[in-house]
Amino acid sequence: MALDTSVPNQKVTIKAGTVLFPEGSAANSLNVLHSGALRYLVDGPSSRKLELFKISGANLTPGASALFGSGRYPFTIVAEQDCVLSTYVMSQSTVGRSLAARSSLGIMVGRSLLREITESFKKVNQLRKIASDMGKTNDNLSLLYYQFNPSVFPDIKPGQPIADPSSEIVDPVLRLARENLKHYFDNGGILPERPTANYVEEDHSQLLVKYYPEEIEFQDGEFNFVRKVILADPNLLAQLFAPDPSMVSYVCDKLGRVQNNITENAKSILEELDENFSLLLGGVESLTEKYFLILDMAASGYATAPPEFVVPILQVVSQKIERALAGHQALFGSAIPSPSPNIKPFIEKTASLAKKFEASNPTAKAASNGSGISVDGSADATAIRKELANSASTIIQFSGMGGDAIKEFSAMMVKLKSLKNPLDSDNDTRKLRRSITKTYFDIYAACFQKYVNSGKNVPKPVDLMLKYGFFDETMLDDSQLVFMSTFKDAITSVSDIPIHYGTEWLEKIYKRECPTSLDELGQNFFDKVKMDNRNAVFKKESDLPPDIDNPEARLKFEFGAMYEANVRLTTGSLATYLPILTKYHSQIPLGKAYVTKKMLTDTIHDIMAVDFSVFNREVIYNNPEMGINKEFVQRAIVPDFVIVPSIGSKIMMWQELSIHRGSGSKESRGRIVLPIFVQGDLKSLLIDAFAAFRWELCKTILGPEWNNVGNPSITADYMDYVQFYKKNKDLSIEIKEKLAAEFKRFRNERDIFANDYQLWIKYEAEGVQRLNRVVRGIFYRHIPFARTIREKVSKMPAFGEINNRFVNIRTRKFTELENRYKKYINALGSLPDPLRENMEFYRV
For 763-776, the pLDDT digits (tens) are: 999 998 889 999 99
Task: DSSP letter for 785, please.
Answer: P
Which tops the pLDDT comparison, 214 or 506? 506
pLDDT value, residue 55: 93
C-alpha R_g of the chain: 31
**Could you tell me the CA-to-CA distances from 584 to 155, 195, 668, 674 in Å, in that order?**
32, 11, 39, 20
**pLDDT higher than threshold 90 for residue 101:** no
| Amino acid code (one letter) for 7 | V
**Could you tell me the CA-to-CA distances from 43 to 48, 55, 106, 245, 478 in Å, in that order?**
6, 19, 29, 36, 54
pLDDT value, residue 605: 95
Q: What are the residues facing 79 on neighbouring strands?
A: 38
Burial 570-593 (b: 16+ CB within 10 A, else e): bbbbebbbbbbbbbbbbbbbbeeb
pLDDT value, residue 72: 92
pLDDT value, residue 379: 37
pLDDT value, residue 297: 83
Other Cβ atoms less than 10 A from the Cβ of 140: the count is: 21
3-state SS, residue 585: coil
Q: What is the average pLDDT across 88-111?
A: 89
**pLDDT higher than threshold 80 for residue 828:** no
pLDDT value, residue 692: 96
3-state SS, residue 91: coil
**pLDDT higher than threshold 80 for residue 368:** no
pLDDT value, residue 577: 92
Burial 77-114 (b: 16+ CB within 10 A, else e): bbbbeebebebbebeeeebbebbbeebebbbbbbbbbb
Q: What is the average pLDDT across 589-610?
A: 92
Per domain, the residue ranges of the chain are 1-92, 806-842
**pLDDT higher than threshold 80 for residue 194:** no
**pLDDT higher than threshold 50 for residue 323:** yes
d(CA 86, CA 11): 4
d(CA 528, CA 180): 44
**Could you tell me the CA-to-CA distances from 705 to 208, 634, 748, 757, 839 in Å, in that order?**
33, 19, 19, 22, 26
Q: What is the average pLDDT across 627-655?
A: 93
Residue 552, judged by CB atoms within 10 A of its CB (0-12, 13-18, 19+), counts as exposed
Contact yes or no for 601/493 (Cβ under 8 A):
no
Other Cβ atoms less than 10 A from the Cβ of 45: the count is: 14
pLDDT value, residue 491: 58
Of 127, 91, 99, nearest to 263 (Cα)?
A: 127
Contact yes or no for 481/385 (Cβ under 8 A):
yes
pLDDT value, residue 367: 35
Angle at 694 between CA 688 and CA 699, to 5 degrees: 130
Q: What are the residues facing 21 on neighbouring strands?
A: 77
Task: DSSP letter for 651, please.
Answer: -
578 confidence band (pLDDT: 50, 70, 90): very high
Of 552, 547, 562, 565, nearest to 449 (Cα)?
A: 552
**pLDDT higher than threshold 90 for residue 448:** yes
Q: Are strands 37-43 and 76-79 parallel, antiparallel or unpaired?
A: antiparallel
**pLDDT higher than threshold 50 for residue 362:** no
d(CA 77, CA 61): 12
**pLDDT higher than threshold 80 for residue 174:** yes
pLDDT value, residue 372: 32
**Could you tell me the CA-to-CA distances from 802 to 173, 513, 776 in Å, in that order?**
41, 45, 8
Other Cβ atoms less than 10 A from the Cβ of 201: the count is: 21
Number of helices and strands (H, E) in the chain? 32, 13
Quick one: what percent of the chain has pLDDT higher than 90?
53
Q: What are the pLDDT digits (tens) for 52-86?
A: 999 999 999 999 999 998 899 999 999 999 999 99
Backbone angles phi, psi at 229, to 5 degrees: -65, -50
Residues 6 or more apart from 421 whose CB is under 8 A from it? Answer: 197, 198, 370, 584
Q: What are the pLDDT digits (tens) for 538-547?
A: 877 777 888 8
> What's the chain's average pLDDT?
88
**pLDDT higher than threshold 80 for residue 48:** yes
**pLDDT higher than threshold 70 for residue 264:** yes
d(CA 652, CA 545): 33
Contact yes or no for 166/186 (Cβ under 8 A):
no
Residues 6 or more apart from 69 whose CB is under 8 A from it? Answer: 256, 257, 260
pLDDT value, residue 768: 87
d(CA 437, CA 443): 10
Of 696, 703, 565, nearest to 639 (Cα)?
A: 696
Q: What are the pLDDT digits (tens) for 270-285?
A: 999 999 999 999 888 8
d(CA 122, CA 275): 22
Burial 467-501 (b: 16+ CB within 10 A, else e): bbbbbbbebbbbbbbbbbbeeeeeeeeebebebbb
H-state helical runs in 454-572? 460-468, 478-486, 502-510, 525-532, 551-558, 564-569
d(CA 687, CA 651): 9
Residue 622, judged by CB atoms within 10 A of its CB (0-12, 13-18, 19+), counts as exposed
589 confidence band (pLDDT: 50, 70, 90): confident
**pLDDT higher than threshold 70 for residue 2:** no
Instruction: Give Cα 729 to chain centroid, integer Å.
Output: 33
Other Cβ atoms less than 10 A from the Cβ of 767: the count is: 13
Q: What are the pLDDT digits (tens) for 134-168?
A: 999 999 999 999 988 888 888 887 666 787 777 77
**Could you tell me the CA-to-CA distances from 84 to 9, 10, 77, 97 in Å, in that order?**
13, 11, 14, 26
* CATH number of this structure's domain 1-92: 2.60.120.10
pLDDT value, residue 632: 92
**pLDDT higher than threshold 50 for residue 702:** yes
CA torsion, ordered 465, 469, 470, 472, to nearest 10 deg: 110
Q: Are strands 671-678 and 640-648 parallel, antiparallel or unpaired?
A: parallel
**Could you tell me the CA-to-CA distances from 462 to 180, 457, 479, 480, 591 in Å, in that order?**
41, 10, 19, 16, 20
pLDDT value, residue 360: 61
| Amino acid code (one letter) for 127 | L
pLDDT value, residue 591: 86
Q: Which of 314-323, 535-544, 576-585 has the lowest mean pLDDT?
A: 535-544
Give the 3-state secondary structure percentages of the chain, helix then strand then coil, rounded to 5.
55, 10, 35
d(CA 410, CA 396): 9
d(CA 690, CA 754): 8
Q: Is the dihedral angle over the CA atoms 802, 805, 807, 810 positive or is it negative?
A: negative
Q: Are strands 83-89 and 49-56 parallel, antiparallel or unpaired?
A: unpaired
376 confidence band (pLDDT: 50, 70, 90): very low
**pLDDT higher than threshold 70 for residue 375:** no
Of 4, 56, 46, nearest to 28 (Cα)?
A: 4
d(CA 573, CA 567): 11
Angle at 776 between CA 774 and CA 777, to 5 degrees: 65
Q: What is the average pLDDT across 755-762?
A: 93
Q: What is the average pLDDT across 417-430?
A: 86
For the full predicted model, state whether its pTM sits above 0.75. no
pLDDT value, residue 548: 87
Contact yes or no for 213/132 (Cβ under 8 A):
yes
pLDDT value, residue 494: 59
d(CA 438, CA 423): 16
Q: What is the average pLDDT across 793-821?
A: 93
